């Protein structure tokens, strides 16, 4: 395990100030103000350790993987496969063969929906998802239900922004073949009880597919303890590069599934009459993969591990509780979702009847980057009968001072709109 450079001296307890030194992008001014980056739920920033690992790879190691006998091809293959092993260890997967490289969470979820779904779903079967899903855990299931004739059902949410567990009881019948849900909502911040939901799915014979896009970057993850059948997540939300995602799956399920895409590397043999598939994980990795991105994600995993996922979860709990308290004091501001004790590091809100895009534009003038819109989760906005929200989100490099600046800028917005 490589500790991030700046923590070698202090080794155990990093400070946010030390962490920030590793993120060159945070040093800049935006519209004459220091950048306050409160948009990590959309995509996190990258530490120099990740940037340098990718730079070093391209300067010294790059060639195509798995195909050559020359020195560089072997070195690139080793870097690519070591990254897979490192990622497997990060989530406690039993084997790197169960780590499939994809482009992002979206592709990971599509892979399961199409590959597992085409082989296992038919008329009379049901797929269960929740009202708080990101579009990437809704649309693939809508599409596969259309193809297979299965029926899609949704677990509703309560007025507190949590899954309605009583409704879940009645929905989770033996017709359900797959229960796919987010570990953490990207709009409400709600942290779902993953182990309990997985156990309930298994009790009716369904498989459990977990969207970990918002949980893996922020909370400790142990796929064996949690027992999910599939877990999807994105590198770019956990300090790694874009263009890289992971699908973890249970081995027997992955073995039994047909390939998702066809092409080079995913085959054992191709004849004009037909083809045979490569072993795991390559069966699901057609074509030249994102090699430097795998190296970058591995460096990000080292960085997160160096800080400690428990430290990260604690830091985010503290800063979210502080932000919750300060934002709750702003008259006319409505926060969506549960209290700070049951949510991850993000807060979505509406400010009176000001359009969230206007709020975000005003904050931007003060150098504060937040996101506004439906956050690719329209059904949950429909639930609250609003088209959009403004969302502030927090990660390892955010400070309470940035929260204070957010609140001050919101008062400015209120004054501008006479609220
Ligand atoms: N699921 C959740 C909960 C998300 O927040 C996101 C992205 O915001 C995704 C899935 C999709 O991630 P990606 O765009 O990296 O595929």
Is the pLDDT assigned to residue 153 strictly greater than 50?
yes
Q: How far is the CA of 10 from the centre of ligand 1 (A)?
A: 34
- Note the pLDDT of residue 67: 78
**Residue 82 CA neighbour count, 13 Å, CB half:** 12
What digits encode the pLDDT tens for the residues 302-347? 999 999 999 999 999 999 999 999 999 999 999 999 999 999 999 9
Residue 5 pLDDT > 70? no
C-alpha torsion angle, residues 302, 303, 308, 311 (rounded to 10): -160
State how far the Cα of 19 lies from the Cα of 41, in Å rounded to an integer: 18
For residue 56, pLDDT beyond 90: yes
281 cis-preceded (ω within 30 degrees of 0): yes
Place of tokens 């103000």: 33
Query: What is the C-alpha radius of gyration for the chain, rounded to an integer number of angstroms?
Result: 22
Q: pLDDT class for 3, splitting at 50, 70, 90?
A: very low
Residue 10, pLDDT above cutoff 50: no
Q: Whose CA is nearest to atom 6 of ligand 1?
A: 213
In the prediction, which pLDDT does 68 show? 79
pLDDT of residue 8: 46
Instruction: Say how far apart CA 234 and CA 211 lie, in whole Å.
Output: 10
The answer for residues whose C-beta is within 8 angstroms of residue 107's C-beta and 6 or more apart is 245
pLDDT at residue 163 tops 80? yes
Q: Which atom of ligand 1 is nearest to the CA of 236?
A: 15
How many residues in total does the chain contain? 419
Q: Which of 129, 90, 118 is nearest to 299 (CA)?
A: 90
Q: Which residue has the tokens 């400015």?
A: 412
* Each residue's pLDDT tens digit, 99-128: 999 999 999 999 999 999 999 999 999 999
The tally of CA atoms less than 13 A away on the side-chain side of residue 296 is 26
Query: Which position has the token pair 């690992």?
Result: 53
Q: How far apart are CA 268 and CA 270, in angstroms?
A: 7
Closest ligand 1 atom to residue 237 Cα is 15
Q: Each residue of 378-417: pLDDT tens digit?
A: 999 999 999 999 999 999 999 999 999 999 999 999 999 9
Q: Evaluate if residue 282 carries a pLDDT over 80.
A: yes
Mutate to test the pocket of ligand 1, among 41, 42, 101, 106 (most ligand atoms within 8 A of CB): 106
Nearest to 402 by CA among 119, 82, 109, 36: 36
Ligand 1 atom closest to the CA of 245, numbered from 1: 15
CA of 350 to the centre of ligand 1 (A): 22
* Catalytic positions, written as ranges: 376
What is the C-alpha to C-alpha distance for residues 107 and 245, in angstroms, rounded to an integer?
8
Tell me which residues have their CB closer than 6 angstroms to ligand 1. 104-106, 134, 136-137, 182, 186, 211, 213-214, 234
Tell me the C-alpha distance between 393 and 175, whole Å.
38
Average pLDDT, the chain: 95
**Each residue's pLDDT tens digit, 250-276:** 999 999 999 999 999 899 999 999 999
Reference 379, options 154, 104, 112; nearest CA is: 154
CA dihedral (311, 317, 323, 325) positive or negative: negative
Assess contact for 77 and 285: CB atoms under 8 A: no
pTM of the model: 0.96
Mean pLDDT of 194-200: 98
CA distance 103 to 290: 8
Strand partners, 163: 157
Higher pLDDT, 136 or 69: 136
Q: What spacing in Å lies between the alpha carbon of 69 and ligand 1's midpoint?
A: 38
| Topology of the domain comprising 309-416 | 3.90.1150
Lowest-confidence pick of 90-99, 297-306, 376-385:
376-385
**Cα–Cα distance for residue pair 254/223, rounded to 1 Å:** 15
Name the band, by pLDDT with cuts 50, 70 and 90, for residue 183.
very high
Which pLDDT value is given to residue 7?
52
Nearest Cα residue to 342 out of 130, 191, 193: 191
CA distance 53 to 295: 7
d(Cα 122, Cα 201) in Å, to the nearest integer?
18
Whole-number pLDDT of residue 257: 97
Residues sharing a CB contact under 8 Å with residue 73, sequence separation 6 or more, in sequence order? 63, 64, 65, 66, 67
369 DSSP β-pair partners? 37
Q: CATH 3.30.465.10: does it fit domain 52-305? A: no
Distance 234 CA to ligand 1 centre (A): 7
Domain map of the chain by residue range? 52-305, 309-416
Crossing angle of the two packed helices 356-365 and 400-416, in degrees rounded to 10: 120
> Residues 297, 319: contact at Cβ < 8 Å?
no
pLDDT for 12 equals 61
Residue 2 pLDDT more than 90? no
Q: Cα–chain-centroid distance for residue 292?
A: 20
């Amino acid at each position: 395990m490589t500790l991030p450079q700046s923590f070698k001296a202090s080794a155990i307890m990093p400070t946010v100030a030390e962490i920030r030194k590793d993120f060159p992008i945070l040093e800049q001014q935006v519209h004459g103000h220091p950048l306050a980056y409160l948009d990590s739920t959309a995509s996190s920033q990258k530490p120099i350790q990740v940037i340098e690992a990718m730079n070093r790879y391209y300067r010294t190691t790059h060639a195509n993987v798995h195909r050559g006998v020359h020195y560089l091809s072997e070195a690139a293959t080793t870097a690519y496969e070591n990254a897979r092993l490192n990622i497997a260890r990060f989530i406690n997967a039993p084997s790197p063969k169960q780590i499939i490289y994809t482009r992002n969470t979206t592709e990971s979820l599509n892979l399961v929906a199409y590959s597992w779904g085409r082989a296992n779903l038919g008329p009379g079967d049901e797929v269960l998802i929740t009202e708080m899903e990101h579009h990437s855990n809704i649309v693939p299931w809508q599409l596969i239900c259309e193809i297979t004739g299965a029926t899609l059902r949704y677990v509703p949410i309560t007025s507190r922004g949590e899954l309605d567990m009583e409704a879940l009881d009645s929905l989770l019948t033996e017709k359900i073949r797959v229960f796919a849900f987010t570990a953490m909502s990207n709009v409400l911040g709600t942290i779902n009880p993953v182990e309990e939901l997985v156990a309930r799915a298994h009790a009716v014979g369904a498989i459990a597919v977990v969207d970990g896009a918002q949980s893996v970057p922020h909370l400790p993850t142990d796929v064996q303890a949690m027992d999910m059948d599939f877990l999807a997540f994105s590198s770019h939300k956990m300090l790694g590069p874009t263009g890289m995602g992971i699908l973890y799956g249970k081995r027997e399920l992955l073995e039994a599934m047909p390939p998702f895409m066809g092409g080079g590397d995913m085959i054992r043999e191709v004849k004009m009459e037909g083809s045979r598939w490569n072993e795991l994980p390559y069966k699901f990795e057609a074509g030249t993969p994102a090699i430097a991105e795998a190296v970058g994600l591995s460096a990000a995993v080292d960085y997160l591990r160096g800080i400690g996922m428990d430290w990260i979860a604690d830091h985010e709990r503290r800063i979210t509780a502080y932000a919750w308290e300060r934002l709750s004091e702003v008259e006319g501001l409505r926060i969506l979702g549960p209290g700070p004790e049951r949510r991850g590091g993000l807060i979505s809100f509406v400010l009176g009847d000001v359009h969230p895009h206007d709020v975000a534009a005003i904050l931007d003038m003060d150098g504060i980057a937040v996101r506004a819109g439906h956050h690719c989760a329209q059904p949950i906005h429909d639930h609250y009968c609003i088209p959009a929200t403004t969302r502030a989100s927090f990660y390892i490099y955010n400070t309470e001072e940035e929260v204070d600046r957010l609140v001050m800028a919101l008062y400015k917005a209120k004054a501008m709109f006479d609220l």
